[in-house]
Amino acid sequence: MPFRPAQFVSVIALPLAALALTFAAPRSEPAAAAPLPAPPAEALRPAGRQVAVLAGGCFWGMEGVFEHVRGVISVTSGYAGGPRDKANYAAVSSETSGHAEAVRIVYDPARISYGQLLQIFFAAAHDPTEVNGQYPDRGPSYRSAIFPQNPAQRQLAAAYIVQLGKARAFPRPIATRIEDGTFYPAEAWHQDFMRRNPDNSYIQRWDKPRLTQLKAQFPALYTG
């Protein structure tokens, strides 16, 4: 996201800060050279609601993308990979807490699989070849990471990263890490930021293109 205040949480000044970033040199979008291959088939889809935790840069855009995916029940912005007492915006902004900005996705496995969520994550939601950053945002809190919630998710995520690497799906090596860590929800003003601020210049410049990619690459999974 475009600014890192220690205490100031008002979004009034946000458009001015984001406006300067509008003219930053863009990275190619998406990072994939072609539509990504499907992930390995899941041996057994779990029953009932499931959770996925993914990190791919500013959580505003990640949340906004997955809120438009069929089968997703809810998406929460937050922090993962660091301790509870530092799971707040001021601490994470310092780039010393160990957290990544992440999203917690609750989904219905009867309508969408974990593998399909990973495919969207790699193809449309962010650039998995970026190291410690996404687009204009730099630092380890913006890293690309997967936080598996069970052994099956961990196995599938690891296998898919290997599969994409062998397929040379991206022009650069995949930087996505598989990590352990508890998810902590972010402050209320971060939640549903794209939906509540569709005309924000940061959202328009960096996050709306992700929705365009989602709709173009996964029309059957896109929901308005």
Catalytic site residue 58?
A: yes
What gap in Å lies between CA 137 and CA 148, rounded to an integer? 24
Instruction: Please identify which of the residues 18, 31, 58, 211 carries the catalytic annotation.
Output: 58
Helices then strands, counting H and E runs in the chain, come out as 8, 8
| CA angle centred on 186, ends 185 and 190, rounded to 5° | 130
Return the DSSP state at 203.
I
Buried-state track 39-75, b at ≥16 Cβ within 10 A, e below 16? beebeeeeeeebbbbbbbbbbbbbbbbbbbbebbeeb
> Which residues are designated catalytic?
58
